Chains A and B, each alone.
Chain A
Amino acid sequence: MRKTIAAASLGLLLIAGQAVAAGNNSAVERVGDRVGARAEAANDFMGIPLPVLLIGTAVLVGVISVASDDDAPTSP
């Protein structure tokens, strides 16, 4: 399943790149997540405690502030 998602994402990456370049954001359809499938009924879990959300944001800030260039494609 992960390989299928990865293969599909390659095509979608191209489509997304073209769509964004053309200024048409809507061309990007919902995509499968190779790493962690999204829970479509995620609202069931609404109400995640604030400290957890704050730490999640801190992780984002911490990582982005020292992001590396090592973003080469990876195999599934």
Chain B
Amino acid sequence: MTDGLNEPPPPKASPLLGYGAVGLAIGLIWLGWQVVLVPLADRAPAEHAVRLSPGSAVVLAEASEAEWRAGRMDNADALARMALERAPFNLQALRVVGLVEGETGDRALADDLLTLAGNWSLRDDSSHSWLIDNRLRRGDYGSAFAHADTLARRRTEVQPQLFDLFGTAMETDPRSVPFLAGELADSPPWRAAFINSLYQRDSGIAVAAQLAMVMKDSDGRFSDAELQQLYQRLYSAGQIEALRQVRIALDRPAAGQALIDGRFEAESAILPFGWDLAVGAGYSVAALADAGPPDATNGNSRPSGALRVGHNGQSRDVLARQVTLLAPGRYRLLGRSRWEFGASQMTFSWQLVCRGAARPAGEAVIGAPTRSTPAASETWTPFSVEFQVPAEGCGSQSLQLVGENPGRRTELVIWFSHLEIVAAQ
């Protein structure tokens, strides 16, 4: 009994401990609220986000931009400046101040602020688009196009508008061409799309030709494919004189050559100059770089290239074609041929045909042997024909190879090489 009476009473809880627990609970609740608050403020509409988190620079900047979009410039400006008081690096707020300044105040100051925003982020599309507009107003094509390039690299959906800007500028003001050429010379990712878009414009071919000539000495000059696209457009549109002028200006392929790659050695061509070899049923046409006769002009016995034609005697398709731009006058077509296989009544003809004409101006006909001899299959036989390019109605011509067989179906292989067009004496 006495033991129980002598037991010390249980210690009383310290009131400080209770206050601490309450404080901790309040702290945890506050912390939890803050954790919830950030994503809430991020996702809530700007006007609610500001109420939820009025001290956040990010929220204020978002709200300022929302106000700017709504056209409430004073609110936007005030909110953006409040955001900058808390976070001077806030790009969004600086941009809003710049945009507001641009609409209601000093455009030079706005230009500086938005230039800073653009410098800080190449992804700040609003700043870059404002700078395009402002630099154009100031008459500064170079700077405007540089910002347009920044925008075009990122925003494919804006490219049609930007391409329209570039195209219109080049059509209406030749001073803009070198600046655009400068941007294209860096081969931006939008280059191919822009050049393609040019051909959708009424005067796009002329603009593309102008661009090609301005860029001809730069590292980013028109590629063979781009040049071929331009040449083919000019040729299809019947603008032969323009085609001739552009080719002379660019010297690609070399304008001094009447016939390109007569030895069939080139790996690629810029059509319509160079060989356009047909693909079809009943024949095969291929240029082989080392299958021709030895080339005496290069001082060694290296074989030149040659054109191989395998034919079943049935097709009348044009087998090979090349456009020429011969001036009026008298010319001679020279070449060599070799029958590899077959004997028949079939003939192959190299024809020079004026564009739009029904009959060739000149034709070199090579007949197949009536019987196959092994010795003949090793022999390169020269051929030549003279022809006249008339002064009228023959601005461009096609040199083309066709086969004709009055007899039965057969199998033939013939080779051609050393084709040349020279002025006749």
Q: Which residues of A contact B101 (CB under 8 A)?
A: 25
CB distance from B146 to the nearest CB of A (A): 3
Binding site secondary structure of chain A: helix
Q: Which residues of A contact B121 (CB under 8 A)?
A: 71-74
Interface-facing stretch out of B150-158, B191-199, B238-246: B150-158
Beyond A52-B173, A62-B161, A67-B125, whether A9 also contacts B116 by CB under 8 A is yes
Residue A48 lies at the interface, judged by CB distance under 8 Å to chain B: yes
Beyond A37-B142, A71-B91, A71-B92, whether A56 also contacts B133 by CB under 8 A is yes
Q: How far is the CA of A56 from the CA of B254 in the complex (A)?
A: 40
Q: Which residues of A contact B109 (CB under 8 A)?
A: 25, 28
Q: Which residues of A contact B173 (CB under 8 A)?
A: 48-49, 52
Per the CB 8 Å criterion, the residue count for chain A at the interface is: 53
The interface bits of chain B over 138-179 (1 if a CB of A lies within 8 angstroms of the residue's CB, else 0) are 111111111111110001001001101100110011011000
Residue B93 lies at the interface, judged by CB distance under 8 Å to chain A: yes
Residue B137 lies at the interface, judged by CB distance under 8 Å to chain A: yes
The interface bits of chain A over 1-24 (1 if a CB of B lies within 8 angstroms of the residue's CB, else 0) are 000011001101110111011010
Beyond A21-B84, A31-B115, whether A36 also contacts B145 by CB under 8 A is yes
Contact residue range for chain B? 35 or more
CB < 8 Å neighbour of B133 from A10, A39, A46, A57: A57
A56 touches B144 (CB 8 A): yes
Beyond A36-B144, A45-B175, A56-B144, whether A74 also contacts B123 by CB under 8 A is yes
Q: Which residues of A contact B124 (CB under 8 A)?
A: 71
A33 touches B133 (CB 8 A): no
The interface bits of chain B over 307-320 (1 if a CB of A lies within 8 angstroms of the residue's CB, else 0) are 00000000000000
Give B170's nearest chain A residue, CB to CB.
A52
Max chain B Cβ within 10 angstroms of own Cβ: one of A13, A53, A63: A63
Q: Which residues of B contact A34 (CB under 8 A)?
A: 118-119
CB < 8 Å neighbour of B172 from A13, A52, A70: A52
Give A22's nearest chain B residue, CB to CB.
B85
B161 touches A58 (CB 8 A): yes
Residues B82-102 near A (CB distance < 8 A): 84-85, 87-95, 97, 101
Residue B128 lies at the interface, judged by CB distance under 8 Å to chain A: yes
A21 touches B81 (CB 8 A): yes
A62 touches B175 (CB 8 A): no
CB < 8 Å neighbour of B132 from A9, A56, A74: A56
Residues B177-201 near A (CB distance < 8 A): none
CB distance from A19 to the nearest CB of B (A): 9
A12 touches B116 (CB 8 A): yes
Q: How far is the CA of A28 from the CA of B84 in the complex (A)?
A: 14
CB distance from B142 to the nearest CB of A (A): 6
Beyond A28-B112, A59-B162, whether A42 also contacts B119 by CB under 8 A is no
List 19 additional contacts besides A31-B116, A59-B151; criterion CB under 8 Å.
Answer: A16-B94, A17-B84, A20-B80, A20-B84, A21-B84, A30-B112, A34-B118, A36-B135, A38-B115, A48-B173, A53-B137, A55-B168, A59-B148, A63-B125, A63-B158, A64-B130, A68-B125, A71-B117, A71-B126
19 contacts between A and B (CB under 8 A): A9-B119, A14-B89, A16-B112, A25-B109, A31-B115, A33-B131, A34-B118, A35-B131, A36-B143, A36-B144, A36-B149, A38-B115, A39-B140, A42-B138, A45-B139, A48-B141, A53-B136, A59-B133, A64-B130
